[in-house]
Chain A
Amino acid sequence: MKEVNNDELVGLWPPLISLVAFAVVTLCILVSTGLFIAIATFVYFEAVNPAGAVWGGLLLVIAFCFCNFKVTRGSVRAAQVLRWYSLFVACSALPALLIVENQEQLIMCLILVSAACLAFYLISGKSYQKYLSHQKEMLVIYQQVKQEVVAEVEVVGTKSRNKKNNISGSL
């Protein structure tokens, strides 16, 4: 593992471009997921009752939030899951482009496919990877500092206890 230098100045925020990449990926996945649920429900399953779609959507939201939280903590594996998920959504929506009946539906499908493809492209890009490495580094530095502070506080506490014991012993 790379040695972390405490004296090195690391910005609190990742570089702006990589933060924008993360924000755009988040938005694209949200857009593609929301529209995918609608299209899957009404085009593929032709469901009349959308209750199943709501519960399915809730499960997807929970899974997405878990993965995205892991991404904010620098997890490459979570980013890969989101990457392949967006590709899956884009591919799954392609047949709907041929099935839809009117222009409004076609526009919805095109937005879905575009958002999913953009998310896939951005996650594979350098900016997003830079974001991941920055977040990972931030987490490592924070953990290291936390451990050091705890150790120092313990040392100070032990010293003051010893001093108290010495004073009470001399009395």
Chain B
Amino acid sequence: MGAFDFNSYDQRKLKDKLEYTLDQKNLFKEIDAIPELTGAGVVYIDHKYTIVELRPFKAVCRVEPVNVVLREPPSMMNQRDFAGHLKSSQQNPRESRLVSEASGTVLSCGAAVLGWIVVTGSSAAIPLTAGTSTAITYLSVAAAAASSAQCINGLFRTGAEPFAPQANDWLDSQEWYQNITQALDLISLAGAMAAGAVTLKTVKLLQTSSSKPTKEILKSLTRAERTRLTKEIVRFNNPGISTRALKNLMRSGGVAKRFSNIQISHAIRIQLKDAIGATLSFSGSAVSGEVNALAIGIWEQVDL
């Protein structure tokens, strides 16, 4: 038994009327000619909101039911008002898209600002991150640039909503635009992965340097531990250097004997910010970018 099988007097009357006024066979043929709508159900709603099912849905090409709805203007509404009503009701889903765009933009812009703060500190972190900060600087610049591009893209899309909402639909339908968004997501992801790897490396370095837990290392270090940590860092910076040469360098003042707690904490904070920044950037793209396209793929949506 279908959803519209219960026939009231009005429904029977409407069905009889449609037998004469509507060329149903031709209509079904035309609908079936559209590949996406083959087997679609056809529903008719008259001006008194009487609903009749002209044809039930048949799972020919798709499992999910799809219906073509034909609707008359309500009796108390003229054609122009009805057109306006339909237009505004079609625009309602766009409001939720505006919110989605805006939230994605906030995340991307937050990630961009955080990314630029990381770039600010990246040069200062070079002596403390075993030289890897030089490479990380380039990656963090790339991640910050990608986040900036995502931010501007999000702002453009948010700004386009009140001016030309159809522009966003057009952009979403373009392959090259999707490719660019994907590339930006990948760059942000690369930044996140690199930042994560360097953070792990630094934490490991700290753990090998002291028997204390990482949290305590970040809070305080003894003088001996600090010196040991500094030696480890300089060894990382100069892999071929011998212990004797290292001592000579320290004695001559060529390298710092020890870094202060504040310097070490700052260096780790920079990397943590980098990691969080890149993660935020990924979340930003998850809301409005490539990852969102995957989520949309799960839903079956038919625009009529």
B22 shortest CB reach to chain A, Å = 36
| CB pair A34 B152 closer than 8 Å | yes
The answer to whether the Cβ of A118 comes within 8 Å of any Cβ in the partner chain is: no
| CB pair A12 B159 closer than 8 Å | no
Asked if A27 meets B109 with Cβ closer than 8 Å, knowing A34-B155, A50-B170, the reply is: yes
The answer to whether the Cβ of A104 comes within 8 Å of any Cβ in the partner chain is: yes
User: Contact check: which of A19, A27, A65 meets B141 at CB < 8 Å?
Assistant: A65
Mask of A52-70 contacts with B, CB within 8 angstroms, 1/0: 0110011011101100110
Mask of A77-115 contacts with B, CB within 8 angstroms, 1/0: 000000000000000000000000010110010000000
Determine the distance from Cα of A23 to Cα of B120 in the docked complex, in whole angstroms: 10
User: Contact check: which of B113, B144, B267 meets A27 at CB < 8 Å?
Assistant: B113
| CB pair A42 B163 closer than 8 Å | yes
When distances are taken between beta carbons in the complex, the residues of chain B under 8 Å from A11 are 262, 266
User: Contact check: which of B117, B148, B161 meets A61 at CB < 8 Å?
Assistant: B148
Determine the distance from Cα of A15 to Cα of B269 in the docked complex, in whole angstroms: 16
| CB pair A108 B159 closer than 8 Å | yes
A122 shortest CB reach to chain B, Å = 14
A166 shortest CB reach to chain B, Å = 17
| CB pair A142 B123 closer than 8 Å | yes
Closest residue of chain A to B153, judged by CB?
A57
Residues 105 to 137 of chain B near chain A (Cβ within 8 Å):
105, 109, 112-113, 116-117, 119-121, 123-127
| CB pair B112 A13 closer than 8 Å | no
Determine the distance from Cα of A101 to Cα of B233 in the docked complex, in whole angstroms: 61
Closest residue of chain B to A51, judged by CB?
B174
The answer to whether the Cβ of A135 comes within 8 Å of any Cβ in the partner chain is: yes
Closest residue of chain A to B126, judged by CB?
A142
Total interface residues on B, CB under 8 Å, equals: 51
Interface stretch of the complex, out of B59-67, B202-210, B213-221, B248-256: B248-256
Asked if A65 meets B124 with Cβ closer than 8 Å, knowing A27-B109, A34-B151, A57-B156, the reply is: no
The answer to whether the Cβ of B160 comes within 8 Å of any Cβ in the partner chain is: yes
User: Contact check: which of B116, B167, B267 meets A72 at CB < 8 Å?
Assistant: B116
When distances are taken between beta carbons in the complex, the residues of chain B under 8 Å from A151 are 254
| CB pair A65 B148 closer than 8 Å | yes
| CB pair A108 B267 closer than 8 Å | no
Mask of A11-46 contacts with B, CB within 8 angstroms, 1/0: 111100001001100110011011101110111000
B214 shortest CB reach to chain A, Å = 20
When distances are taken between beta carbons in the complex, the residues of chain A under 8 Å from B263 are 12
Asked if A43 meets B163 with Cβ closer than 8 Å, knowing A23-B117, A30-B152, the reply is: yes
Determine the distance from Cα of A54 to Cα of B193 in the docked complex, in whole angstroms: 28
When distances are taken between beta carbons in the complex, the residues of chain A under 8 Å from B171 are 50, 54
| CB pair A152 B254 closer than 8 Å | yes
When distances are taken between beta carbons in the complex, the residues of chain A under 8 Å from B113 are 23, 26-27, 30
The answer to whether the Cβ of B149 comes within 8 Å of any Cβ in the partner chain is: yes
A-B contact sample (5 more), CB < 8 A, given A34-B151, A50-B156: A13-B120, A38-B156, A65-B145, A153-B245, A156-B245
Interface residues of A (CB under 8 A from B): 6, 11-14, 19, 22-23, 26-27, 30-31, 33-35, 37-39, 41-43, 48-51, 53-54, 57-58, 60-62, 64-65, 68-69, 72-73, 102, 104-105, 108, 135, 138-139, 142, 145, 148-149, 151-153, 156, 160
